[in-house]
Amino acid sequence: MVEGIYRVRIVVKEIQQKGVCGRGLKIGDEFIYEGENPPVLGCADALYTLWPWLNILRYGGSNPWEIKPNGDRGFFRVCCQDPDSPVCFEVSRINE
C-alpha cells in the first residue's frame, strides 16, 4: 500500500429482481481493489457504478450518511445500473 492510499474491499451483497446477474456475479463474491488498475469484475456496468466510490475510499474519504454499528463511515452501498437485475455491492475501506 502506498502511504495515504487504502485498499478497498468490494462484496456482492444481493442481486435484486430476477436474482441473476447477466455477467455472472454472485452473492458473496468478493474483490480486493489495490488501487493499481481498475478492478476486474467482469462487468463494465458494475465498474462504472463503483469507480467514483472506490476512489473516494482509497484516498481516505468517507460517507457522511451511512455509518456501521462500530461508527465506521468508510463504506458505501451501491447498485449497478442493470434495470433487470441490479447487483448491490458493499464497498469498504480496509484500514490496516
Tens place of pLDDT for every residue, the chain, 96 residues? Answer: 456 788 888 898 988 878 888 888 889 999 888 876 777 777 888 888 888 998 898 898 988 888 878 888 888 999 988 888 889 999 998 877
- The residues near 31 (Cβ < 8 Å, ≥ 6 apart) are 9, 10, 11, 39, 40, 41
Confidence (pLDDT) at 72? 83
Confidence (pLDDT) at 28? 93
Confidence (pLDDT) at 78? 92
Confidence (pLDDT) at 2? 57
The answer to whether 49 and 32 are in contact (CB under 8 A) is no
